[in-house]
Amino acid sequence: MSFDSLSFGETVVIIVVAIELVIVVTALVALVVMRGRAIRREENVDRGRSELAEVMPDLTSDQTGEAMKRATIIVERVGKDNARRLITELAEFVTIEHATTLAELFVASGLAETSQLTAKSRPWERLRVIREARALNDPGGVLATLLKDDNYDVQIATFEALCALGRAPEALVVLEQVVAQGRLVRTRITDALAATDPLPVQELAQLAQSTTRDVRQVSIGAIGRAGARQALDVVITGVTDEDVEVRIESLRALTEMEDPRGLPAALSALNDEFWEVRSAAVGTSAALGGEGAVMPIAVLLDDPAEWVRHNASLALGRCGPAGTSALRAAAARGNESASSSLAEHRMAREGT
């Protein structure tokens, strides 16, 4: 077939098909090349991870600096971006001693400066910087700046990082701002504070007197979850707080602290005007008082609120034989919550 015999339309079609074929072939070649580069890059990072892991034992005992030089060469070979990821991943799974050495490598390789520059970039880049600072004990000192960030996700992550590093007092200056971001955030902040070592007991005790409800709630919650019995009086005072949520949180804290001295406050809360508080109080009373709390709890089997009756029956089941006897007596009177609780105990006892 001669091209001279082709019409104009046929010629255009052939040219278009040829161009598309070239584009497809070019794209396939480009994908193969890019995939090959990505594979080689990951292989390079994996090799760097293995080599750095081998060098790490020598870093802490190296007197001549040879191990640090070898580690620096490895970091330079994998590139700054991959090196930041690599050192951070290693620091998250090693002892404090090795993490300190990795932090020295992080600074010596110029990665701390890169991290500081990145912190001025997008919010998700700042979250990466926070992870690095948390793993390496903040070698670049960026957390103090990020704590004042306008992005609340960044601010909350910074708060948690400071608590993880034992620097909770620094984080507490923005407590009122972060706890205003909702219930889930308050739970995260409470957990972060409770896990802080050392726990800033005195600061939390003072914040428990705050005029802001959420601050009082988080402070008391952190004291309770940390089991800081030296601040028991603060938690007991919270049981009579003007805010319902704070009273409930205080009762939960008493349960977690497991200190019998909190029993009178829990028993008093059984008469609270709000059913949510009474519902929380029955569990706390049972946990702290055992059989000694049976009679006050049994009264709430006839509470107007169904949820209080239900939780009272469950609480009596945890009060030993005396609690079980109270449940039987209530079931005989036709109390459905007591009957249900007895059935659950029987099933649990028989292993069904």
The reported pLDDT for the residue numbered 169 is 95
190 burial level (CB within 10 Å; 0-12, 13-18, 19+):
buried
C-alpha separations of 303 from 253, 272, 317, 331 in Å:
24, 12, 17, 15
The reported pLDDT for the residue numbered 338 is 74
Q: CB–CB of 171/162 below 8 Å?
A: yes
pLDDT in tens, the chain (352 residues): 555 676 777 778 888 888 999 999 999 998 888 888 878 777 777 787 787 777 777 776 665 678 888 888 888 888 888 888 888 888 888 777 778 888 888 888 888 888 888 888 888 899 999 999 999 999 888 999 999 898 989 999 999 999 999 999 999 999 999 999 899 999 999 999 999 999 999 999 999 999 999 999 999 999 999 999 999 999 999 999 999 999 999 999 999 999 999 999 999 999 999 999 999 999 999 999 999 999 999 999 889 998 999 999 989 988 888 988 888 888 888 787 777 777 776 655 555 4
Residue 312 CA from chain centroid, whole number: 32
All structural domains of the chain = 47-138 (no CATH), 147-258 (1.25.10.10), 260-352 (1.25.10.10)
The reported pLDDT for the residue numbered 352 is 42
The reported pLDDT for the residue numbered 4 is 65
Find out whether the peptide bond into 198 is cis, omega within 30 degrees of 0. yes
Distance CA 324, CA 151 (A): 53
Distance CA 268, CA 296 (A): 9
Q: Which residue has the tokens 């709000």?
A: 274
Sequence-distant (≥ 6) Cβ neighbours of residue 119 within 8 angstroms: 125, 126, 129, 142, 145, 146
